[in-house]
Structures are given as C-alpha cells and as structure tokens.
Structure 1
Amino acid sequence: MRRLARSGVRAAQALALALGALVLAGCASGTARPKPAELPPSVDLIGVRQVWQLRAAPVGFPLQVHVQGSQVLLAGDDGSLVTLDAASGRELGRASVGAPLSAGVGNDGRVSAVVTRANEVVALEGGQVLWRRPLPTQSYTAPLVAGGRVFVLGADRSLTALDGGSGARLWHLERPAEPLVLRQAGVLLPVGNTLVAGLAGRLVGIDPDNGSVRWEAPVAAARGTNDVERLVDLVGGAYRAGTLVCARAFQAALGCVETRDGRLLWTRAANGATGIAGDGERLYGAEADGQVLAWRADTGDRAWSTERLRWRQLTGPLVLGRSVVVGDSTGLVHLLSRADGTALGRMSTDGSGIAATPVQAGNTLVVVTRAGNVFGFRPE
C-alpha cells in the first residue's frame, strides 16, 4: 500500500493530516493486493543457518539499520535504541529517547540520532540524550550524522543541518512544497565533501557547510493529472560506488548520476517503491509487483528479471557474496543468484514481516522483523 502524506506538516496539523493520509493511501491502493506467489520447496544451494536471535521493540516506521564495523544499531517504535555485536548477537547497549519514533537511526560511531513522531530530532551519546531539537515538519529518513553535524531530511524534502554537539541550527534548505510526500525514507548520503539528497524527483548536491546547492540531476519528472499520479520522490536505499550514485524514483524511474559535476548518466522507467543495491557491474531492485530485476550499472539495460516472488511486498535488496538478499511481508528471507535471479536459499523468521532492508556486519546477515525480533544468519 502506498503511504502518503500532505507536505508542509506542522505540529498542530500532524494528527489531522496523518488521518487524511490514511484515507488517501487506501484510495490510491485501489483493489486488494493479489495473493503472494506460491513458493516451491526451498533449495539450499548456499548453506546458511541462524546463529542467534535477539528481542528488541516492534517496528512500524521506516527503520534504517545502521552498521558500524561489527556492530549493528537499530531502533524500535517505543523510542528504544539497541546496539548489538553481530558476531554473537550479544547486546552491547540500550538507550531510549522516551518517545515513539518516525525515523532512525543515524550514527557516526559516537553520536546517534533519531526523529520522534512529535517532530523532534534527538541526539544521544554514550546511551544518554545529548540534545533535542524541534523540526518544522515530519521526517521519515534516518538523520545523517557526519562531520560533527546532524543532517535531517524532512518529509517535505526540506533539509536541515544541526550542530552535532549542541543541536543548534546551522542552516536550512527549503524547496517548493510538493502536494504529497511519501511516508518512507528518502535519499541522504555523503559523497566526498558533498551532501547528496533526494529532493522531489531530483538528486541534489549540496555544500554541507552552508546548504548551497552545487548541482541538480533529474531522475524523474512529475506525470499524470492529479496529486497522486503526479507524486515524484526518490526513495531511500541508494547505491554508491565512488562518485557514482544511483537511486530510484517512486514507481517511476531508476537513474545514475556522476556526483562530481551532477551529470545524469542514464535513467530508465521502473515501477518499484523500495531502494536498490549494486555490485559495480549491476544494480538490483524489486518492482512494486514483487518482480526482482537486475540492470547494467553502466547503461541501465536490463540484465535479468524473476517473478518467483510476485506480490510478496519485498524489502530493498542487499548484495551478499554471490547472492541478492530480500525480505518479504511474511517474514521470509530470500537469497537469489546475482547471475540470473535463480533461488539459492530461503530462511524463516517469526512470520511478522521483515521491517528493514537486511544488512551485513562482518560475516553475519542481520534481519529485523516487524515484531521486533532480530536474527543473525551465517554461512555454514
């Protein structure tokens, strides 16, 4: 189901607009989603086993799991943050911001940052709250903590830079508001000395010191005759290789940009709603109907596609060894061949659905479910 909200949401309007967004989302989705494709018996061409399990908090927001070396940092609906050792599954630390979350979690190895549903950025250090800062809008994207600063991408695709030590506002970049925005994470990442963000259908290069725009590259343009059809937004889960950044525009297109000068290298029509991954030669992603596709990274030409996971509401992909890993809404984790998309393996979790794109920490595959269970898998 599409998760949409009106842009320019202020604190006093948040509840009313959130309720309106739920109605709009139901209208936009149309008829009920088709039944997920039946799966054949699981193959085991890659021997993978569960090595640990940890209980955290349920996840209902667009969680972005953060990996720092061999450690994994994640957050839950209730405002709790958990740091764990990926090798053993041992809990290394736990903290709380004391409020439900809408986005998280960002970290630079010292300071962590999340956003609450009350539109407040909260920074923590050593398990203790360092500062809190109100936002003028909602955010569903994990803050980027880098260079002693915290960068926050708003749901209306405004961008705010805060001092990492005090929370003081350094600069604010605001663009013409779109009628609708997605209730999911957007694109926000550092590339050298440039901050790259997804603002509407464009990748934009920004000077992190003052917020000035260095370049813009259009990945997709608005289309259609009403607000829903004209919605164009870049979704979180971009692929970076050196100065190359590739991203997906929600149910519209896929494109790659050279960030040294903002040149759009190519763009192709694509109908997905989650992020992409890559391995230097190919990009991988799932379409809205559950097809998993691979594209050539240099041209955007399609390399292969598979329909074996149709209508299974897939997460963004992770490239892991010779496989592409995706989770689905039934709690299954699928390993597909990078070469041709054939099935290599399948693992079960708790049946509640995978809450975030799987991540790799060391030689461990880490998966978080909607129910708040965290699983560690490792090759046998």
Structure 2
Amino acid sequence: MKVTVCTPLSRGLRRASWLALAAVLAACSSGPKRPEPAPLAPVSALVPAKLAWNLGMGAVDPLMTPVVQGDTVVLANAAGVVQAVDARGGQVLWRVDAKAPLSAGVGSDGRQAAVVTRDNALVAVTAAGEQWRVRLSARVFTPPLVAGERVFVLAADRSVSAYDGKTGARLWSQAARGADPLILQQPGVLLAVGNTLVAGISGRLVGLNPANGSVRWDAAIARPRGINEIERLVDLVGRVGRTDDQVCARAFQSAVGCVDAARGAVQWTQPADGASGVHADADHVYGVESNGRVQAWKRGSGERAWSTDRLLHRGVTAPLAAGRSIMVGDAQGHVHLLSREDGTLVNRLSTDGSAIVAGPFLAGNTLIAVTRNGGVYGWRPE
C-alpha cells in the first residue's frame, strides 16, 4: 500500500516543518533499496470462491474508498465519475459525473452519495444527477459520511462540519483544538455509532453530537511524541473495526486500540507499526504492519493472538474479516484469504495486476476488490 506521509494544512505550515518534511523526502529518495516482496507460495483453495463478474471504471485514486449499502456499492474514479453498482450481478445502476478530479469519496446512505473534489468542493449526487455543491475552506481526504439526511465532513484542518442533505447549507462546524500542522494524505475515521458521530482527530477518537457538533467524549488511542511535527504525527486511519459499540482503530505507525463508543472509554491500546486501518469480529482485531505482517489481537484484552509473515513487503492493504477468513489485497493485484484462526493462507484471487485500492470489502455475499487501474471484481463462495 502506498502511503503519502503528510501534507501541510490549508492555513499554512511553519518554516521548521517544511525543513523537516524536506529532510524526510530527501531521505526517502536516497534511502536503501526496498526489500523484495515475499514470494508467493502455492496455495490450496480451502475456501473456494468463483469470479461472478467484473467491470471497468477508469483509473482509481487510492483515496477513493468505496461504500456499501446493502447489495449496492457506490464507487468513484479519479476523474470524478461516481457510480452505483448492484453487487449481485455487477450491473451499473446509475452514473453521475462530478466534472472534477476527486480528493475524497465516497459516502452514501444508499440514496444520496457525496464526494469532495480536489478544488475543495463538496458534491452531493443521486441517481437523478448532481443535487448541490458547496465550497469548503480546507482540503478533504476522508470520505464524507451521509446519514440522517445530513452530510458530515472531516477536513484536513481536523475540523468536522455538517451540511443539510437536501440543500447543502452548512448546519454547524466544530474546529479542532490545537491542531498539528501536518496531516496524513489518506482517509481517516468518520462514522456513526448509534446517535453519536465518531471522528478521528489526531490520535483520538472524538464523539460528537450530530445535531450541533458539541463534544460528548474524547478518547486517546495514541498521543503525539517526538521533537518535530513528522515524529509527532499520530493521525487515525481508516478502516475501523466495529463490533456493537466498540470501535477499534489504528494510529499511524504508533498504536492500535479499542474504545467503548457508548461511554467514550479506552478499553486497550497496543504499540503497532502500521499505516492502514484495521477490522474486527467477535473475537479478534486484525491489522497489517508496515512491512506486510498480518496480525490479530484479542478483541477483549488487546493481547496478541497470532501473526504471519507470509505477505511481507507486498504492499498489503487494510484487512477485511468475513466468514471464516481475513481478506487483504496487495500491490500486485492479488486478494489473499487467510484463516481467522491462525493466519494460514486458504486461497488467493487474481485481478488485473495493478494494486488493490483501499482493501477488499463485502456487499451481501459478494467479495469485491477495486484495482488502481479501475477493475472492479466480484467473487462469491462456491
């Protein structure tokens, strides 16, 4: 998985931060050669799956996270075309052109979808076409959340705002306290848990009242450390693992932890060096470290359950827990299925050879993966 480490906020960046960032970029360009991806061993299809359909949608930016509502998947490509697909057969239900390249998407409640363009416009669409667009004051990398006839936005200045779903009128905005000057240029955390809007602000999960933006609770998964802004960067990254009211998330290259979103109480945290999100089931939380190691923590305590090095250095995506398996994509266009019990490989699915974007996801009983080149693939268990 390719990760853009950080970007300055729209309100500017101190000179010291620019110098620190320049030093990191210089080190990256002249650093040691990347390790070779772990070779792929033969695998028996212990969990068989058959390709049910596939379609093309044009090149997809890694920031374009699809969203699932029932059997409908809403996707967007880098050029700004938003489309809804029936996951049962792969038919395109509707398609709308936002007429601009996108920086974030997609959010949807099944009827309305929302994306953000690179020139900071929040655009709402339905099957009938574009509904409205409004100008935002900061860049956005996290998909908007569409819920309760409102559209919620987590911006790069770490503010959270709400917009009327019918008109686009701004209802409220909550500015972050003491925001750091750098932010990851990848999707963060924004979801609804019951009647609470949960947002990832720096290294914290923050529970907000969706009616007015007031803070209900604030729970730290990781805290900034280090002597410069890059070392202190602890943004939470999507995807998240949610089971009932428990939300588990990753702080970039820092920690994994779980929070009781009903009370805003941290249940556990564990050090972890990863850059992609996590997923969870009734027993475990699953994640991928920066080197491609896939591992599981016990959901109740955070104690490590198992780990596997079979996919080291393959650019592994955030995991998906579904059925008997953990699914991850890689930079070579494979989707790997691993046992939830111990991480052994139980199947491998192939696409067009370009990187899997964001990670596999499930719509109904269809496993779906989207590639960087715009291939959309749907598999079903045999």
TM range (shorter): over 0.9
Distance 2:345 2:27 in 1: 32
- Equivalence for 1:81: 82
Q: 2-side partners of 1:333 and 1:60: how far apart?
A: 18
From 272, 281, 284, the counterpart of 1:282: 284
Q: Is 1:118 matched with 2:129?
A: no
Partner residue of 1:365?
Answer: 367
Q: Is the 1:71–1:83 Cα contact (8 Å) retained in structure 2? A: yes
Amino acid at match of 1:340: D
Write the mapping of 1:141-180 to structure 2, written as runs, cut at 5 A: 141-175=142-176, 176-180=178-182
The Cα shift of 1:224 comes to 1.6
Query: What CA deviation, in whole Å up to 9, does each residue of 1:216-241 have, x standing for no partner?
Result: 00100111222211111100111111
- Structure 2 residue aligned with 1:195: 197
CA–CA distance in 1 between the matches of 2:20 and 2:317? 22
Aligned amino acid, residue 341 of structure 1 = G
Output the CA distance in 2 between the equivalents of 1:227 and 1:28. Answer: 16
User: Which one is further off, 52-61 or 186-195?
Assistant: 52-61
Moved more, 199-208 or 78-87: 78-87
- The answer to whether the Cα contact below 8 Å between 2:9 and 2:183 also exists between their aligned partners in 1 is no
> Following TM superposition, by how much is the alpha carbon of 1:155 offset from its aligned partner in structure 2, in angstroms?
1.7
Structure 2 residue aligned with 1:219, among 218, 221, 225? Answer: 221
Letter in structure 1 aligned against 2:253: Q
Q: Shift in Å at residue 189 of structure 1?
A: 0.4
Query: Contact (CA 8 Å) 1:245, 1:256: kept in 2 or not?
Result: yes
The Cα RMSD (Å) is 1.8
Q: Mapping of 1:1-380 within 5 angstroms?
A: 2-9=3-10, 26-27=25-26, 29=28, 30-175=31-176, 176-380=178-382
**SS in structure 1 opposite 2:292?**
coil
Classify the secondary structure of the residue corresponding to 1:26: helix
Tell me the CA shift for residue 335 of structure 1.
0.2
Looking at structure 2, the residues matched to 361 and 25 of structure 1 have their Cα atoms a distance apart, in angstroms, of 40
List per-residue Cα deviations over 1:170-209 (Å, max 9, x = no partner).
1111112212100000110001111000000000000111
Alignment check: 8 A CA contact 1:4 1:22 kept: no
| Structure 2, unpaired ranges of 5+ | none
Give the structure-2-normalised TM-score: 0.94
SS of the residue corresponding to residue 4 of structure 1 reads: coil
Contact 1:326–1:334 at 8 Å: present in 2 too?
A: yes
What is the rounded CA distance, in whole Å, between the counterparts of 2:128 and 2:352 in structure 1?
29
Amino acid at match of 1:319: A
CA distance in 1, matches of 2:24, 2:77: 24
CA contact (8 A) 1:8 1:177 kept: no
* Structure 1 ranges of 4+ moved more than 3 A: 4-7, 19-32
Q: What CA distance in whole angstroms lies between the structure 2 residues aligned with 1:334 and 1:213?
A: 40
For these two proteins, the number of residue pairs brought into alignment is 374
Q: Which amino acid aligns with 2:132?
A: W
Alpha-carbon distance in structure 1 between the residues aligned to 2:233 and 2:109: 32
Partners of 2:164 and 2:23 in 1: how far apart? 37
**What TM-score do you get using the length of structure 1 for normalisation?**
0.95
Aligned residue type for 1:206:
L
Cα distance in structure 2, aligned partners of 1:24 and 1:90: 48
- Once the 2 structures are TM-superposed, how far is the Cα of residue 61 of structure 1 from its aligned partner? 3.6
1:224-277 per-residue CA deviation (whole Å, 9 max, x = no partner) reads 222211111100111111111111100000111111221111111011111111
Stretches of structure 1 that go unaligned for 5 or more consecutive residues are none
Give the AA of the match of 1:295.
W
Is the alpha carbon distance of 1:189 and 1:22 closer, same or farther for their aligned partners in structure 2, counting shifts above 3 Å?
same
Instruction: Identify which range, 335-344 or 149-158, moves more after superposition.
Output: 149-158
Distance change >3 Å, CA 134–CA 317, structure 1 → 2: same
Task: Write out per-residue CA displacement over residues 253-310 of structure 1, whole angstroms, 9 at most, x where no aligned residue.
Answer: 0111111221111111011111111111101110000000000000000000000000
**Inter-partner Cα distance in structure 2 for 1:341 and 1:40:** 14
1:94 and 1:127 in contact (8 A); partners too: no
Distance 1:236 1:20, change over 3 A: farther
* Cα distance in 2 between the residues matched to 1:332 and 1:125: 32
Corresponding letter in the other structure for 1:113 = A
The change in CA–CA distance for 1:124 and 1:200 in structure 2 (over 3 A counts) is same
